[in-house]
Chain A
C-alpha cells in the first residue's frame, strides 16, 4: 500500500515501520501467492492521521478486517459515556473505489489484496468485468478467531511468515464462502454514491443511543432519492437501513449489558432509548435467543 511506504522506512523484508512520532508498532506486507497479498497494520498512533487509499489498484479487490479495540466505555460522573464507533470490522471494496478513513488510536487491521482473476476463480456464476463487489459486515466468528490467533504472534518469530501465509489463505477461504453465500455481486456502483451511503451508515452508528433518524433524513444526507438510497443501502449492507439500525442497537445493548457499568437492565434500556423494558427484552431475545437478564453483569460500584 502506497501510504505505508511514503511515510516509512522498511525495516525487514516485509516489515514497514512508521516514524516514532507518528506511531508505534509496525506493518507487515507479504505476497502470499501470485494475485494474493496481505497487509497487517498494527499501530498505536501518537497523533491522528487519515489514511487514504488512492485509486491505483484497479485490478484488485481489497478486503479489510479491523480488529482494533472495539469500544471505549468511559466512566464519567454522570454515568457511562459511550464512544461506540462504527465498527463493522469487515469491508470488501473494489480497488477502483477511492476510500479513506480516520483511524482509532490503536489500529490492528488485516488486509487482503486479491487480484480480480483470482477472486473470480472462486466465485459461482458469471460476473461482468464492470461489476463491483462492495459490502460491509461484521467479521464472522471463524475469521475473527484465526485473525486473533495471528494477532497474538510475534512479528520476529521465525514462524511468523508461515502463520501469515496460513492465515491469509484461511481468511480468503472464509471470505469466498461468505461471498458465495450472500451473493454481493453487484452492478457497477458509482464511487460517490457508495461513499455517501457509507457515510450515512457511520452517522447511524454514532446515533445508536437515540431513535432511528428516519429514512428521509438519511436519504437527504446522502443526497439521493429515498428509493435510490434504500436500494443502494441494501445492496451494500444486505438489509434495510431500519433493520440494520435496530440490529446494531441491540449489538450495542449486548456490549452494555456485559460491561458491568449499569445497575439494572432498565438502566441499559433507558440508555438506549427503549421506554418499555418488556419490549426491549422481547426484541433482544428475538435477536440473540436469550433474555437480557441472562447476560447482564451488574455494576458493583
Chain B
C-alpha cells in the first residue's frame, strides 16, 4: 500500500509535491506516476484566478491511501466521481475503511480533511474543482439567498461547507461528452475550461433546490454518518430501524444525528432509506424476476399497493408502467 500525503489549492504550487509523493514527476500539466502506482491521465489546469481543475482518468495498480493535509481554507473542493465499482473507501483516522463512497458528487471545504483509499485495480474517473470561497460566495448571493444566510454559510465558526449528493443527469452527460476529447490536444484546455464552468452552473442550480442547513461538521461526524448510511444500505430489504437506534449506533443524540444526516446527505435518514429501497425495487423490477407483490414482501413494504404508491411518488410512474416501458 502506498501513502500519499498532499494538499490542494486554487494556486497550483501543490501539483509538483503531489507528483513527488506519488513517486512521479510533472510533464506540463500532466502528472506522471510510476507504472506500478497508476497508469493513465492525471491533469491539472488552472482555469482562472478563482478555479483550478484536476482530471484523473487512471487505473490503479496498488492500494493508495490519500491523506489530505490542507491548512489554508480559502477554497472549497467540488468532486465529481464517475469511477465505477467499489473502489473509493472513506477511512477513519486509524486507516480503517468505514464504507465506500456512495455519492458521485461532493462539495467539501478545503480545510476539511478526510482520508480515503483507492483500491488496486480500480479504474478511476474523477473531476475535481478547487474554487475560491470568495467567488462561491458571490454566486450564492446572486441566487437570492439572504445576505445574512450567506454570511453564516461561510462563517467557519458556525458552519462547515459539506454536501454529498448525486450529480444531476445534465452534469453526468457533460462529463461523458467531455471524455471523448484527447488530453493534451490543441483544444483540450478550452474544452476542459468550458466543462468546468458548465459544471459550476449545474452545481449552483442544484444548490438552489436544496435547503441550506447551517451547522458545524467534524471529520469524525462525517465518518459516523457515512458509516451509519452504509449500515442502512446493508439493511435495505428490512424495515427502517428507527432514529433512536441509528442515533445510538452513531453515538449521538437523536437531534444531532438527524441534523447532521440531513446536512451532509440532503435527506432525512427515513427518506434516504425509502429512496434507496425504491431504487433497489426498480433494479429488481427491471430484471423481471419478481412480481410487484413478491417485491413488496421481499422489501418489507406493508402491501403491494403501498409499494406502488411510493414508487409512483418517486419515479412518477407506477411499477406496472415502468415494467411496460422496458
Contact = CB atoms under 8 A, between A and B. Distances in A.
B254 to A, nearest CB: 36
Contacts of A162: 139, 197-198, 200-201, 204
A160 B188 CA distance: 23
A122 B194 CA distance: 15
Interface stretch (A46-54, A57-65, A169-177): A169-177
- Which size class do B's interface residues fall under? 20 to 34
14 contacts: A124-B186, A158-B143, A158-B208, A159-B205, A160-B201, A162-B139, A162-B200, A162-B201, A162-B204, A166-B195, A167-B198, A170-B191, A170-B195, A173-B194
Interface in B193-229: 193-202, 204-205, 208
A297 to B, nearest CB: 25
A33 interface: yes
Given A158-B139, A158-B208, A159-B205, A122 B198 contact: no
A168 B199 CA distance: 14
A159 B168 CA distance: 15
A160 B185 CA distance: 28
Nearest to A158: B142
A180 interface: yes
A169 B197 contact: yes
Given A167-B198, A176-B190, 6 more contacts: A122-B186, A163-B198, A169-B191, A173-B188, A174-B191, A176-B186
Interface of A: 33, 122, 124, 157-160, 162-163, 165-174, 176-177, 180
B194 A169 contact: yes
Contacts of A166: 193-201
Contacts of B288: none
Nearest to B200: A162
Chain B binding surface, main DSSP class: helix
Interface string B178-192: 000000011110110
A184 to B, nearest CB: 15
B231 interface: no
A174 B143 CA distance: 31
A164 B68 CA distance: 33
Nearest to B196: A166
B69 to A, nearest CB: 30
Contacts of A167: 194, 198
A169 B193 CA distance: 6
A147 B139 CA distance: 22
Contacts of A33: 48
A122 B48 CA distance: 18
Nearest to B193: A169
Contacts of B198: 162-163, 166-167, 170
B51 to A, nearest CB: 10
Contacts, number: 70
A259 B48 CA distance: 46
B144 interface: yes
Given A158-B142, A158-B143, A158-B144, A170 B194 contact: yes
Contact of A173 (B139, B142, B190, B201): B190
Contacts of A124: 186
Contacts of A122: 186-187, 190
Quick one: which of B185, B200, B201 has the most chain A CB within 10 A? Answer: B201
A170 B197 CA distance: 10
B123 to A, nearest CB: 26
Contacts of B208: 158
Given A158-B143, A159-B205, A177 B187 contact: yes
Quick one: which of B143, B190, B196 has the most chain A CB within 10 A? Answer: B190
Interface string B138-165: 0100111000000000000000000000
Contact of B194 (A158, A160, A168, A180): A168
Contacts of A173: 187-188, 190-191, 194
4 nearest A-B residue pairs (beta carbon) = A166-B197, A170-B194, A166-B198, A173-B190
Contacts of B196: 166
A157 B142 CA distance: 9
A122 B188 CA distance: 10
Nearest to A172: B190
A158 B202 CA distance: 11
A163 B197 contact: yes
A159 B201 contact: yes
Contacts of B185: 177
A176 B201 contact: no
Quick one: which of A122, A162, A167 has the most chain B CB within 10 A? Answer: A162
Nearest to B198: A166
Contacts of B188: 173
Contacts of A165: 194, 197
A154 to B, nearest CB: 11
Nearest to B191: A173
Contacts of A168: 194
A167 B201 CA distance: 11
A102 B22 CA distance: 60
A197 B96 CA distance: 72
Contacts of B199: 166
B29 to A, nearest CB: 15
A229 to B, nearest CB: 33
B187 A174 contact: yes
Contacts of A157: 205
A99 B91 CA distance: 62
A157 B195 CA distance: 19
